[in-house]
Every structure is written in C-alpha cells, then in structure tokens.
Amino acid sequence: MMAWNVFKFCTVLRGLGSIMILLVLGVVGVTYYSVVVTNYGPALLDGGLHSLLSAVVLILFHCLLVMLLWSYFSVVLTDPGSVPPNWRPTVDEERGEADPLNDSEFNGLQSDSSNQRIRYCRKCNQLKPPRCHHCSVCGWCVLKMDHHCVWVVNCVGAQNYKYFLLFLFYTFLETSLVTLALLSNFLTFFSDEEFPGTSGTLATTFISFVLNLAFALSVLGFLIMHISLVTANTTTIEAYEKKTTPKWRYDLGRKKNFEQVF
C-alpha cells in the first residue's frame, strides 16, 4: 500500500485563493452588521449613559477594524521574501567561514548531495540562503519562512512576518471586543427576555458572537506561540526541525530579536 503524499494537497490550497479572502470579509461583514447596524448603531439615539457606551464601543470597533484590515491585506499583498535569481553567497553563511567554491566546484555541488555546507534547492535549481525553505504551495523558496497560511493566501516570511503578527494582535483585540459587546444579547437568546429586533437579527447576533468567541480563543493561542518564537528569534519550521542546543545561533536577545522583526 503506497503512502499518501501530503504535498498533493498543495494544489487544493492553491485553489482556495480568493475564497479564503471572501470568507474573512464575510465574517467581518456579518460582525459589522450585528455590532453597528443591529445593536450599537440604533442605541446611539437612546440618549444618556447607554448612548455614551454605544459611542465608545463603536469608536473602538471601527479603529480596530481599520487596523485589522490594513494588517491583513499587508500580509496578503506583501512578498514574504524570495531568493534573488542566481544568488550565491560570498561567505559560508552557515558556518561563518570563507566560501571556497569556484565555478567548477559549484557545478560539482549540484551532484554532491553530501555537501551540507551550502544548501541547494532542487525544485528551484538554485542555492538557498540560511533559514530559507521551499514552499510547495507557492512554488518557490521563501526567506526565513515561517509557514504557509491559507487564511492570508500567502507565505509568512521575512518581509511580511511583522504584518502577520499585527494581524493576529488586532484580530484578537477586535474579536474580544465584539464578544464582550454582544455577550448580553447572546445571553438573551437563552432567556425569556424579549429581544429588541426580529428573529433574523437575533440569529445574526448569535452567529457573530459564536464566531468571534471562537476566533478570539484560537488567535490567542497563535499569538502566544508566535510571541515566544519572536523572543527566541526562531520560526515555526525551525522550532519543529532544530535539535535541542545550549544556544540558538540566531538568538540576539529579546530586544534585538523583536527589533529585527519589527
């Protein structure tokens, strides 16, 4: 019985493309309708403390929404970092030694799989810098590749990792705000109290609350994980692949590791 090749699934991931973007925008649209149009927008006309609270919620909601969408599309549209054509190191980056290769030796490198000093990608047919990995979904090598994210339809690498972290951060804040803002209306669903609105608006509020609560909890886990990766100057792939060593070679200290990403 032949083992299943997981990389065949990459063609399916390529096909998701705009579907995932539309899904994200759909969740944002449903949430916007529940918070602004159905609940807190009309409450602005009530007057008093309730109106002031609604104004505060709506201001925070729109500010976080703008930052969320900006960071999201920055991850989607920013090149994660590709290897320049015919790139070749002048120094052995992996060991910090002078590169002894000349043209004839470089030609021999392609056939000598035992040479591990300088990494070579057989799919791209070119040398790979340190911390660079080939993405089977995108079809090219990505600098300091962290992972391929289906939600942003792009690889997360050296040049867009900052935007990815900001996207997680603002998504967590936005979904947490929505969860708290809709909590009282969600509890009304299970009580005998009369809900101000139609059954359709009640169902939309219920769905928005559940979606945002689920995203808030899941994104919190990812955010904590990536913060720990940033403080150690490592990626998801490296954290999985690297062996336990007394000191990670790229760890510059928490402050410099953070500055390197941002």
Catalytic residue list: 149
Nearest alpha-carbon partner for 11 in 136, 110, 103: 136
Tokens of 56: 């505060």
Q: How would you label 198-208 residue by residue, b for 16+ Cβ within 10 Å and e otherwise?
A: eeebbebbbeb
Tokens of 262: 């941002």
Contacting residues for 223 by C-beta, under 8 A, at least 6 apart: 165, 168, 169, 172
Rounded Cα–Cα distance for residues 153 and 28 (Å): 17
DSSP E strand boundaries for the chain = 91-92, 97-98, 119-121, 126-128, 133-135, 140-142, 147-149, 154-156
Rounded Cα–Cα distance for residues 61 and 36 (Å): 9
Planar angle of CA 243, 245, 246, nearest 5 degrees: 165
Type of residue at 239 = A
